[in-house]
Structure 1
Amino acid sequence: MEEEEAILFWDEFAQDYAQIQQESSLQIAKEVVAYLLEQQVFPISIFVDFAAGAGRYIPAFYPYVNEYYAIDFSKEMLRIIEETIDDPQNKLHLIQQSQSDFLTTDQHWPCIFMAMNPALRDKKTLLQLRKKTDQLIILRTIAEVENVFQPFEEDPVAEKELQLNTYYKKWLSEEAIEWRSCQFEYMVKEEIDRDLFHLYFEDEYSLEQRKQMVQRIFGESLTVESHTKITFELLLSR
């Protein structure tokens, strides 16, 4: 996806994305704070939240940062941050900037954090980001296993996304750049009924196929509990 197309996509998707983030019950932000305190990253004078999105991590990180720079190429994402996140100490700076423009500036930062950055996909970009900071922190989902819907889904793109942290570690190690990692695991449970299951797969499978799938998953039950195990990994390089 070209940069202009990506900006348009995320501008249009911003409200839905923010809603998804808001509805998430995962305590990942609090656990990341605890780890960064343990590693003596926090407290810190200047902190860059790159590809900040709708600002999911800002409320948790805010108390430990003197000057907080939230950078994203989507003006709609930044607008959501401005409208929904309190800044009582007037230390939150919102900057609309693309990754390519960010990398071409000469400024060096004490710390750059990024969570699920969709544009970090190659070794050159990773090394450029590492050179721009004393501490590079990358958070990604590395595994997501679910028992009701996932057995009938194939998504090679999503599977490749889950492998990105593995590549980051490999690329850093190839350049003898030190890194350490920490994983966070969560279990999400949800009650699923037969109607929802049928509706979910309506466009992908025939009615007869869906009946067989329902029999396999539900048996004689009207509902089943979906279990989703999600694993995040945080990389810290300094």
Structure 2
Amino acid sequence: MSEDNLQEEIDFWDDFALEYTQIQNESALNIVSDVGNYLAKQIPMKTETLVDLAGGSGKFLPVLYPLTSNYLLVDFSKEMIALAQKKYPIEKNGFIISEQNRFLAQSASQTYDILFSAMNPAIRTKKDLNEIIRVTKQKVYLLRVIQEEDALFGPFEEPSQDWDLMAQYKNWLDLPYQSHFFTYQLEEVITKVFFEAYFEDDLSPKILEMAVEKFFSTKTIAINRKTITFELLSINVNS
């Protein structure tokens, strides 16, 4: 990524930081506590160092911090880091504002026991993954959504390419790994007005009319049942 594109990306996340954090806080999923409970059984207490890479505003900080003597939250957005610092007044040196490649390059002479990263958009190539493994002594934990299905929106939307990333990571690996899955089923109320507005620019009038008739008929609301599956990939670096 060029310096200009990187700066645009940083500016976007700085501007979006507060709204993104609010969206995360409103989530009904128990993924944070479930991942925390799982890792608490996997990581020896207390491991010396744990890096939360691309950790944003600290979504997983509450469950990762107790697992280590030295917790580091790394993110390239200063606004994300500021939100994390405000909400979680831990040691100031536990927060690092740095783009991922720069952080990994600066860690050339240093390694960390555990590295955790959730929904990291910057792990796109085998080189990205290898750099993360290079700075880790024991285990790398990568968390991603691998499948999302719902009754109302799914039939009209293309699957996200990000859902295939975890499979790609495993194809790149020469190290042993394990996978653990977390599946959630949710119900949400969707209004007819919202559904029509959501697809107004993406569906033809005829298809949209047929969809509205199918899901709403004479009703003004419908229940959207959603299934979301996360995969936690555990890479054994010290094997």
RMSD (Å), alpha carbons: 1.7
Work out the number of aligned pairs and report it. 230
* 1:138 equivalent in alignment to 2:151: no
| d(CA) in 2 for partners of 1:28, 1:165 | 17
* Counterparts of residues 21-170 of structure 1 (less than 5 Å): 21-87=24-90, 90=91, 93-105=94-106, 106=108, 107-134=110-137, 135-154=139-158, 159-170=160-171
| d(CA) in 2 for partners of 1:125, 1:201 | 36
Q: What is the TM-score normalised by the length of structure 1?
A: 0.90
| Preserved contact between residue 48 and residue 68 of structure 1 (Cα < 8 Å) | yes
Tell me how far 1:213 sits from its aligned partner: 1.3
Identity of aligned residues (%): 37
Tell me how far 1:170 sits from its aligned partner: 1.0
| Preserved contact between residue 53 and residue 115 of structure 2 (Cα < 8 Å) | yes
Which moved further from structure 2: 19-28 or 201-210?
201-210
| Preserved contact between residue 142 and residue 163 of structure 1 (Cα < 8 Å) | yes
Q: Partner of 2:180: helix, strand, or coil?
A: strand
Q: Partner of 2:52: helix, strand, or coil?
A: strand
Tell me how far 1:40 sits from its aligned partner: 3.2
Tell me how far 1:84 sits from its aligned partner: 1.8
Tell me how far 1:110 sits from its aligned partner: 0.8
| Preserved contact between residue 72 and residue 96 of structure 1 (Cα < 8 Å) | yes
| d(CA) in 1 for partners of 2:125, 2:66 | 33
Q: Partner of 2:94: helix, strand, or coil?
A: strand
* Cα offsets for 1:196-225 (capped at 9, x unmatched): 211212222354442221012223433211
* Cα offsets for 1:2-27 (capped at 9, x unmatched): 32221111111111111111111111
Tell me how far 1:42 sits from its aligned partner: 4.7
Q: Partner of 1:204: helix, strand, or coil?
A: coil
Q: What's the counterpart of residue 183 of structure 2? A: 185
- Which amino acid letter does the alignment assign opposite residue 147 of structure 2? A
Tell me how far 1:140 sits from its aligned partner: 0.5
| Preserved contact between residue 69 and residue 94 of structure 1 (Cα < 8 Å) | yes
Tell me how far 1:53 sits from its aligned partner: 0.7
Q: What's the counterpart of residue 12 of structure 2? A: 9
| Preserved contact between residue 150 and residue 224 of structure 2 (Cα < 8 Å) | yes
Q: What is the TM-score normalised by the length of structure 2?
A: 0.90
Q: What's the counterpart of residue 21 of structure 2? A: 18
| d(CA) in 1 for partners of 2:51, 2:44 | 12
For structure 1, the 5+ residue unaligned runs are none
* Cα offsets for 1:132-151 (capped at 9, x unmatched): 10211100000011111221
Q: Partner of 1:11: helix, strand, or coil?
A: helix
